[in-house]
Structure 1
């Protein structure tokens, strides 16, 4: 028998056959599954956004009765900002104050549910989420009753001399901030809970073995590892809170109105579509600037 032929040294070895390539229609299947969502976003997000952008450039002298002319009136933006910059500042101030209160209340709550609740964990999570099953309007009206001059909270604060006999909470900035805190608190607690619940308890035990106290363990172990939930929760809280108008409408006065109230009035009361659209885009740009600045400071990988 003849010896088998050998390939010369340095010659390319034949590669093993790879897996068969799927037919073209199967490779397109994942993209076809995206079509319903893409169509939904196109029809109900992209198209209305483009229409709103066009409306922001209409001639401000027009009206619904006479019609609007596209004059590329970019001056609508500085005019709207000059007229309502206090409401912009008030919106971000109220949202920031509510976020601080939500962090003070929400972080301990999320930590207690994730690390200390034991068999009560599911019940406490239901208590956090349950208010979201009721109307936003109903929840805010409930706070209007709680903060009223004849409510139990005002009576209690007067009894312990934390509020003057003629003092009040309703129709003040305090009421608006408390309403924002309550209504958007679950958006902060749930991402925090998800991060804290995944925290490996052996890391906390190792910190204790290295003689780290509770405060140092929190600062060096718990807080850094919970940053993904903290960053996501603060964004989910701050973005809707800064554009809210229900709380200021029901719990405040025109002196507490936020930019959302102005936009609502521009579209539905004054029917000033160019100004309402310009204010909407200014609010969107301001929120995006805050979000990008925040992510740049904290690191976008923290939310991944």
Structure 2
């Protein structure tokens, strides 16, 4: 039995080794060596000069995650209360933008937000002043929310649909109003979905680069842009780029560890006492 299990898991082990373990080892190697291959900590020490870029990336990523949660939770809750047929249709509509190329979706927002774009043209048509939206931090956050909010909605919807309606009705029978039912029953039971959604949005948001490059301009440099510059830009320096990537991985792991502290696994089967 054990030999069969090992045989079945062999392809996955090979896949993880080739596409996860080896790339991470290469990142660690380049981060801890210079161009001649000698061991050095200079690359990691040089990352400190980009602390403002790290802070900006974390701030914008966290803001996009919060907005996605505030918008995604009510929508996921509404979908979970619909009939099964309507749920399928709404989930398909949520996933529909993801069927389009990521780059094309971002280009579409450029057409909407630029100074002579569709939004400003509509404002001018009704006599309102034009608004500068492109190449701003707000445009970057908007692009993050638009592209990553499905990753917030889907895990929330998955958890909310599994909440037993009898539990909610029992809380109402015990005298809890709608606010208490939500705060004491629905929200605690949906925390695994919240944590999954926050993680799935924050990780790509904090490390994104194409959104900030296209919607933020040169004044909103993020960690992803910085790494991209080290590998593809004129200042080619894969050692420094690997060091920045290594620090980013550590930051993401710390954030995920903090988020996991809010999920003790006790809220999957039921809520807390009213």
TM-score scaled to structure 2, two decimals? 0.91
SS where residue 261 of structure 2 aligns? Answer: helix
Q: Report the secondary structure of 2:36's partner residue.
A: coil
Q: Distance in 1 between matches of 2:268 and 2:106?
A: 30
Identify if the C-alpha distance between structure 1 residues 194 and 158 changes in structure 2 by more than 3 Å, giving closer, same or farther: farther
Equivalent residue runs for 1:144-183 within 5 Å: 144-154=110-120, 165-183=129-147
Rounded Cα–Cα distance in structure 2 between residues aligned with 1:36 and 1:135: 29
8 A contact 2:231–2:241 mirrored in 1: yes
- Counterpart check, 1:101 vs 2:67: yes
Query: Could you say what secondary structure the match of 1:299 adopts?
Result: coil
Q: Does 1:51 align with 2:26?
A: yes
In 1, the alpha carbon distance for the partners of 2:228 and 2:68 equals: 26
Q: Does 1:264 align with 2:228?
A: yes
How far does residue 300 in structure 1 lie from its aligned partner after superposition?
6.2
SS at match of 1:116: coil
Given candidates 180, 188, 193, the residue that maps to 2:152 is 188
Spell out the pairing of 1:1-304 with structure 2 (5 A cutoff). 26-59=1-34, 68-80=35-47, 82-117=48-83, 119-154=85-120, 165-269=129-233, 270-299=235-264
The Cα shift of 1:148 comes to 2.0
Q: Where in structure 1 are there 5+ consecutive unaligned residues?
A: 1-25, 60-67
Please state which structure has a larger fraction of its residues in helix. 2
Rounded to whole Å, the distance in 2 between the matches of 1:302 and 1:240 is 27
Q: Describe the superposition over 1:56-104 as per-residue Cα deviations: whole angstroms up to 9, x where unpaired.
A: 1222xxxxxxxx2122111211212x22111101111111110111011
Q: Cα offset for 1:153? A: 3.3
Q: Which residue of 2 aligns with 1:7?
A: none
Q: Which residue number in structure 2 is paired with residue 23 of structure 1? A: none
**Aligned-partner Cα distance in 1 for 2:228–2:253:** 20
| Rg (Cα) greater in structure | 1
How much is the aligned-residue C-alpha RMSD, in angstroms?
A: 2.1
User: Which residue is 2:272 aligned to?
Assistant: none
TM-score by length of 1: 0.82
1:166–1:27 Cα change, 3 Å: closer
Distance between the aligned counterparts of 1:236 and 1:88, measured in 2? Answer: 19
CA contact (8 A) 1:145 1:151 kept: yes
CA–CA separation in structure 1 for the residues paired with 2:231 and 2:264: 37
Alignment partners' CA distance in 2, 1:203 and 1:299: 20
Matched residue, 1:64: none
How far apart, CA to CA, are the structure 1 residues paired with 2:6 and 2:106? 42
> Number of matched residues?
268
* Displacement after TM superposition at 1:301 (Å): 6.4
CA shift, 1:118, in A, is 5.0
